[in-house]
Amino acid sequence: MNNAVVAIVSQGSLQHFSFLVNGARYEVLAPPLMSLGEVLREKCGLRGLKHGCQQGGCGACSVQVDGQLVPACMLPMTRANQKSIETIEGLAQGEQLHPIQEAFVECYATQCGFCTAGMIMATKALLESNPSPSREEVLVALSGNVCRCTGYLPIVDAVLVAARNAHSPDLAEPAV
């Protein structure tokens, strides 16, 4: 049995990481313990995700990693290597908004906008696994995302409108 410990990555030294973001390949040099959030924002120029707390508590940095909703501030770069990441920048196709984005505009689900990218990614993750959520399921899916401006109701409505607009059967009715 080989008991040799894997080499220590010494402090501050950079490693090479390769990963997909919204289908495009990125190659970066970063400390392995730097968070994915910091790497995406500072090294990849993808500033749509926001850092509201750096503790996984606010949801503003939510992205999808291999389809799973994850707070980007909580994932060290060493764990994001070779993964396929989706961020807010990947939703619109040129000028054409994604149905979730359209619903957020239609339902006045934004004010200051700082929580918005995270809310939309949480919505996307929800609708990909549950295309016709109940209102209660929406509340659970967005329970990791904090908003200080809207009081949440327009956001919940936007999620249900987005679900409806994707032509799903068995829908909960939004309040609007």
Q: Name the residue among 37, 57, 67, 39 with its Cα closest to residue 49.
A: 37
Q: How far is the CB of 44 from another protein (least distance, A)?
A: 12
Please state at what angle helix 153-165 crosses helix 99-106, rounded to 10 degrees. 140
14-18, Cβ contacts within 8 angstroms, sequence gap of 24 or more: 15/77, 15/78, 17/77, 17/78, 17/80, 17/81, 18/81, 18/82
Q: Which is nearer to another protein, 12 or 23 (CB)?
A: 12
Q: Which is nearer to another protein, 125 or 163 (CB)?
A: 125
Please state at what angle helix 153-165 crosses helix 116-129, rounded to 10 degrees. 40
Q: Which is nearer to another protein, 15 or 173 (CB)?
A: 15
* CA end-to-end span of the chain: 65
Q: Which is nearer to another protein, 136 or 169 (CB)?
A: 136
Enter the tokens of residue 160: 């249900």
Q: Which is nearer to another protein, 20 or 33 (CB)?
A: 33
Taking the C-alpha atoms of residue 116 and residue 62, their distance in angstroms, rounded to an integer, is: 10
